[in-house]
Chains A and B, each alone.
Chain A
Amino acid sequence: MSTSWPLWEVFVRGKRGLNHVHVGSLHAPDAEMAVRNARDVYTRRNEGVSIWVVPAEAITASSPDEKDPFFEPSGDKVYRHPTFYAIPEDVPHL
């Protein structure tokens, strides 16, 4: 009885200059309908200027159990963050 349409993950660009951000998911028979439905469900109040829909099954995610080792490479590279560098306070615009 429940002929289930595939699941799509929806990403919306809030305004020009911003990344697309995941806002939720929905079911639709195809990509075109998924975009239309995403517009009606997730952008009724100008929440976005651009929508991506991605078949949920096409997404590969890191698993939470691997979390620590997986994200470790960034953990020990503190020099990637601007606050790693001590700059005298009287140097402007830096």
Chain B
Amino acid sequence: MVDDLAARFEHTVASEARIEPRDWMPDGYRRTLIRQIAQHAHSEIIGMQPEGNWISRAPSLRRKAILLAKVQDEAGHGLYLYAATETLGADRGELTEKLIDGKQKYSSIFNYPTLTFADMGVIGWLVDGAAICNQVPLCRTSYGPYARAMIRICKEESFHQRQGYELLMTMMRGTQAQRDMVQDAVDRWWWPSLMMFGPPDEESSNTEQSMAWRIKRNTNDELRQKYVDMSMPQAAKLGVTFPDPELKWNPERGHHDFGQPDWEEFWQVVGGHGPCNSQRVAHRRKAHEDGAWVREAAAAHAAKARRSQEGVA
């Protein structure tokens, strides 16, 4: 019987059809998906903090409105993804507990500080850009609710990247000090952005099985290469450089050659020792705990309204 179900699952995946919540699936597939989607959801939610940091100090009402809308989108992305994990039997409350207890991870990029307003532009351009590179192939991931969440997210991400690039173009037309600020932000965010694709393929333990299940559609190194190739002309047009002396076009490969990020630093940050790890998690914990009375009051209000409705009927 299980063989039958397994065969049907394999066939569905192999034929590029989607697995849906009520279908039979291997335990490992379910576990891998819950871990990956939860980690992704946590990243969206924690990712609100570095930018939220600048909402009250945005230089104009226009920039403030844009930044607010972007941060609100990231909250929405987190919710789409938590909803997808729940179709697999996960509990959103539990996932939040795991995040604030440090038992589940989020993207290491959000453990870096946002020092100037130029960081708002560079995050939109490079960080959301890397996220898009990662996420576009996930619109074809084998689990239906995850793929559908990714389609919604990708539609919204394009606004995120474009507002960032536009912000940087504006600053580059400004004073020398503003141009320097942009270059400084690019220098700080370039390597962490490359790390967003995860460790090199030979060190990535989960890739092979995830590719076989068509959860993942490209390897880390493939996506990283694509990202570098896409970013180069954008940097040239903007008038900034990336802090990598090895970065150059290789006509034989038809791709850019580039240096490796400091993987030692990557593992340090993943392990909880980045510049902002404890601050990010503490902030999320505080927001969650401070909101407890609201959740309880709303539930009490709903219960009371139900009771009085039943009383009347």
Contacts and interface: CB of A to CB of B under 8 A. Distances in A.
Interface residues of B, number: 32
Given A41-B79, A64-B20, A4 B91 contact: yes
B248 interface: no
Contacts of B145: 24
B287 interface: no
Contacts of B86: 7, 25
Contacts, number: 58
B93 A29 contact: no
A29 B299 contact: yes
A2 interface: yes
B299 A5 contact: yes
A30 B23 contact: no
A24 B301 contact: no
A30 B305 CA distance: 9
B149 A64 contact: no
Interface string B136-155: 00000000010011000000
If over half of A's interface residues share one DSSP class (helix, strand or loop), that class is named, otherwise mixed; here it is loop
If over half of B's interface residues share one DSSP class (helix, strand or loop), that class is named, otherwise mixed; here it is helix
Contacts of A63: 22
Nearest to B77: A41
A5 B23 contact: no
Interface string A1-29: 11111010000000000000000111101
Interface of A: 1-5, 7, 24-27, 29-30, 33, 40-41, 44-45, 61, 63-64
19 contacts: A1-B93, A1-B97, A2-B94, A2-B96, A3-B93, A4-B92, A7-B86, A24-B145, A25-B83, A26-B79, A30-B298, A30-B302, A33-B302, A40-B72, A44-B72, A44-B76, A44-B156, A45-B156, A64-B22
Q: Return the 10 tightest CB-CB contacts between A and B, nearest first.
A: A2-B93, A29-B302, A30-B302, A29-B298, A25-B83, A29-B299, A64-B22, A24-B83, A64-B23, A41-B79
